[in-house]
Structure 1
Amino acid sequence: MTADALLPSREERATLWAEAIGQAESYFEGVESLPVAPALNQGELHALLDGFSFDNPGSRLDVLHRFTEELKRHQVHTPHPCYFGLFNPAPAFMGILGESIAATLNPQLAAWSHSPLAVETERRLIEAFAQKFGFSEGSADGCLTSGGAEANLTALLCALAERWPGVLDSGLQGVSARPVFYASAESHQSFLKAARTAGLGRGALRTVPVTDTLQMDCDALRQMIEEDRRLGYEPFLIVGTAGTTGAGIVDSLTAIGDVARANGLWFHVDAAWGGAAVLVPELRTALEGIEKADSITFDPHKLLSMPMGAGMFLTRHRKILNKIFSVSTAYMPKEGEGLAVVDPYIHSLQWSRRFIGLKLFLTLTTTGWSGYAEILRHQSEMADFLRERLEKSGWSVVNRTRLPVVCFTPSDEEWDIATHQCAADAVVQSGSAWISTIILRGEKPALRACITNYRTERQHIDTLLANLSKVRHDLSLRKRLDHKQLRARVRHHTRVPELPNASEFGRW
């Protein structure tokens, strides 16, 4: 295979770049006119993919054009300002450029010496965010990750190794105790995956009930720790959440930290989404106590609007990552051995990896902390506007958070989860917006809308409210019609037979 099979001529590259830029610009300008979500048809997707062949390759321009156009048709448009869904943002433009540069230069960040500027750039980001979260400059450490799941797994491994250093050599079979750790009923399910991945199993994760405000119940937490120890289990980790996925709730981090320290346990805060509040002075107090954590998960690909994926693990224990991930090989580059540097491959779960931090570095150095504060403040204001409009339109907001996620249900009637899901489905199928459902405390169903896009304005919230009003009206009509039909069927089946008239009695 000749080189031009993978690297086209300069002229063809110019044509392909023009197509890619044209597609991107068309999307930036036109995403708002697209349906937020596609109709789902797996058969159509299979037929579409059959039009692309690995055995008979097509022209680069044709494949690029056709597939990009089809991808626009067959995805939920998370960059749409009427996407009120999960924590998927509209990507920042400098982040998009950063991804393109990283893919073009393809720096390999396993060894410091292979891409020293890239590694040092990520170190600078770790130090900057660690300080924002309140960690001291001299002791803080961390690494960029693929996302929150990797960061949470890293936290679990750190807590295990801190409690039982021998686990790094002997594994869990060298631990005589039965390890357990604690997270609230509203915490992210990545901790269940982490428990399974680490070999602890599902039973090691203790689910702590939440209060009426959906925060971890610290009294229940204390009781569970005492009971587990009485039964022969060994607690080693408590997880607090700063911005739950369901309702955006921030646990009482100060109180949880106090419990952790009183019991000698590692205290981790999953701030994958809500951690961005530290950048906004008036929201920073919602995360009070996070500075006392042993480790923190934070995802710039959520509220900081980075393209997927960009996660971050931070810790106040400077030596713990090398302790867990350090290995020695004969084949890795040795050029940096005489310098006071750390190779990333012995500092994180990943080995070979791309320059995750470039997109964040380019965006932060051109937007600044103050620019991000303004963006996040705007999203918070849009959530306040949504809450206000909902309550004036006959809905009840059922979560209390300063972060931009709103859970709501009708104020004048009680819907079950099926009705909530029917309403959410109708909104999504309309193409005008995307919302979801949630069950809070395992029992309270609600609709959920999150301000996850920096381009969302009041008119987009008005669009959502108009759609919700129509859906609610249609559901009410259907409910009345169903009730009327049910009553008619009941009358039909319980009707008393007619008696003969008087003249007919004479024949009897």
Structure 2
Amino acid sequence: MITHIETIRQRPVWQEPARETRERFTRPLPNEPRDLGDVLDDVRRHIMPFATGNLHPLFMGWVHGAGTPIGMVAEIVAGGLNMNCGGRDHAGLAVEQQIVRWMSEALGYPDGASGLFLTGSSMANFVAVTIAKTEALGQSVRETGLRNSDRELVAYTSAEAHSCIAQAMQLSGIGSANLRTVAVDAAGRMLPDALSASIAEDRAKGFLPFLVVGTAGTVNTGAIDPLAEIAEIASREKLWFHVDGAIGALAVLSSSLRDLFKGMEKSASVALDFHKWGQVPYDAGFLLVRDGGAQKRTFAQPAAYLQRADRGLAAGETWPCDLGPDLSRGFRALKTWMTIETLGADNIGKSIAHTCMLARHLADRLSRHPAFVLKAPVALNIVCFGIRRGDAGFVRNLVSDLQVSGLAAPSWTTLDGEPVVRCAIVNHRTTTADIDGFMDILDTYLAERREKLQN
């Protein structure tokens, strides 16, 4: 794997799994053992060449971190120890609590905040919605559900928020029809006046507003909602203010970017992903909650087999299983702790700022090119652009052709009803030379397309 990473630029960014590989994974259940070396040969032949591609510097289609060898070492240690970090009194829980304290410090949360590792921000956002629901209706909602509520709950987020917010409303039993999508400005940021008006309208109709979700880096363009203004509205209206920081929250580790997120420190909870800009191997999602008591009130269970003792393995007042839905949990905290300890928060912040600089460099190159046009402001590390005199089919074909070629892996999204090419630069390995090389790839592609049309 070390060699694989060292030679990553010599490999395609992505390639479609071969037919032989697809057939390899349709075999029936093996009853007899095989030699480990033979199994590893299958890994080398059928898995490693056909991975997602996010290790490569020109993987820019989705917001995936690239990992580091530090995380690989941590995964070996964690796998060997095989600890269940749902509870009990052992070092795994102490490491997780260390991350809670570090993130509280970085995000401006007070002592008494709680936190929890989850698979990713989709789950972290779901847990946050569940906490907000319980705080709005009381702990009895855990047993009775929504049937005893005299008013329907409603929540608010921007029209550019990630779809997992709507899904969290669905899974929590409230329903996505009760999620109001607030209008955004030309940069994709929630409009505070529109939020206030929507809340007032719902109150007049007899609904019970309980939650507003701000976004610290939208998935389409990286736009940052006006978090400080949203925090003031949430405080005035007595709403739970949650921030979906899956893409951008870790930018607070960068001294040059930190001020963009003013107001996040006033939130009630923040979801983030260490496996994105933190470069921790998948998966390492995280939720930080200002009021640790609220999180525990939502999830703690009085089961006999979870009783606590004043000593022994069952010691400890609060276990991770008291703070979320999982009882069986892996040691996700170790790879995060080792990454931060080894690299240092400042270096991680500098890496984050570097990817934003690369995005600005790409945007500058595109804006000066006669064939391309920027389609959204570059707020962080995401660049969206279109092709002059190119229709929707051209955009989709360009993206798919580049992916299939193995030369680069952008993606496409839709802005104002128009398909655009989207490049999310997250990889710490990506350099200015890589971005310039991507522009060369685009030039070559356009030239080849023109030649085909002429012939």
TM-score class, shorter-chain normalisation, is over 0.9
In structure 2, the residue corresponding to 1:112 is in which secondary structure?
Answer: coil
Q: 1:402 to 1:213 in 2, by over 3 A?
A: closer
Q: Structure 2 vs 1, CA of residues 472 and 121 (structure 1 numbering), >3 Å: closer, same or farther? A: same
Q: Are residue 290 (structure 1) and residue 264 (structure 2) matched?
A: yes
1:107, CA displacement in angstroms? 1.0
Which residue is 2:6 aligned to? 29
Whole-Å separation in 1 of the counterparts to 2:347 and 2:73: 18
Maintained 8 Å contact 1:160/1:236: yes
Report percent identity of matched pairs. Answer: 28
For each residue in 1:111-145, what CA deviation from the matched residue of structure 2 results, as whole angstroms up to 9, or x when unmatched?
A: 232xx211011111111111211112x23222111
Report if the CA contact (8 A) 1:184-1:207 is conserved.
Answer: yes
Who is 1:186 aligned against?
160
Whether 1:310 and 2:284 are equivalent positions in the alignment is yes
Are the counterparts in 2 of residues 52 and 58 from structure 1 also a CA contact under 8 Å? no
Corresponding residue of 1:151: 124
How many Å separate the matches in 1 of 2:269 and 2:425? 27
Amino acid at match of 2:319: D
Segments of structure 2 that go 5 or more residues without pairing to the other structure are none
Counterpart of 1:94? 70
1:243 to 205, 211, 217: 217
Following superposition, the deviation at residue 283 of structure 1 comes to 0.3
Q: What does residue 275 of structure 2 align with?
A: 301
CA distance in 1, matches of 2:56, 2:190: 33
- For residue 99 of structure 1, report the CA deviation from its aligned partner: 1.3
- Asked which structure has the greater RCO (Cα within 8 Å, sep 6+), the reply is 2
CA distance in 2, matches of 1:141, 1:243: 23
Change (3 A) 1:214 1:53: same
AA of the residue aligned to 1:429: V
Contact 1:79–1:90 (8 Å) recurs in 2 = yes
Q: Which residue is equivalent to 2:229? A: 255
Aligned to 2:409: 434
Deviation at 1:282, TM superposition (A): 1.0
Which residue does 1:495 correspond to in 2?
A: none
In the other structure, the counterpart of 2:443 is: 469
* TM-score relative to the length of structure 1: 0.84
**CA deviation map 1:209-233 (0-9, x unaligned):** 2111111122222222222222222
**Secondary structure class of the residue paired with 1:446:** strand
Count how many residue pairs are aligned between Structure 1 and Structure 2.
Answer: 451
1:473 Cα deviation from its structure 2 partner = 3.2
Alignment of 1:159-238 (within 5 A): 159-165=132-138, 166-238=140-212
- Looking at structure 2, the residues matched to 356 and 97 of structure 1 have their Cα atoms a distance apart, in angstroms, of 13
CA distance in 1, matches of 2:26, 2:87: 41
Question: Partner of 1:80 in structure 2?
Answer: 56
| Aligned residue number for residue 113 of structure 2 | 140
162-171 vs 394-403, greater mean Cα deviation: 394-403
Larger-Rg structure: 1
Displacement, 1:386?
Answer: 1.3
Partner of 1:403: 380
Shift of 1:191: 1.2
Q: Which sits farther off after the overlay, 397-406 or 256-265?
A: 397-406
In the superposition, relative to structure 1, how do residues 52 and 378 fare at CA in structure 2: closer, same or farther (>3 Å)? farther
Q: In 1, are the aligned partners of 2:61 and 2:412 still within 8 Å (CA)?
A: no
- How far did 1:286 drift? 0.8
Q: In structure 2, do the counterparts of structure 1 residues 52 and 171 end up closer, same or farther at CA, with 3 Å as the change threshold?
A: closer
Which amino acid in structure 2 is aligned with residue 28 of structure 1?
A: I
Q: Show the counterpart of 1:330.
A: 304
- Is 2:44 the counterpart of 1:71? no
1:112/1:336 contact within 8 Å kept: no
Q: CA deviation at 1:169?
A: 2.7
Q: Kindly provide the CA deviation profile for residues 434-460 of structure 1, in whole angstroms up to 9, marking residues without a partner as x.
A: 00111124x233111111110111221
Distance 1:44 1:219, change over 3 A: farther
Give the Cα separation in 1 of the matches to 2:392 and 2:231.
Answer: 35
Runs of 4+ in 1 over 3 A off after TM superposition: 43-46, 50-53, 332-341, 473-481
SS in 2 for 1:237: strand
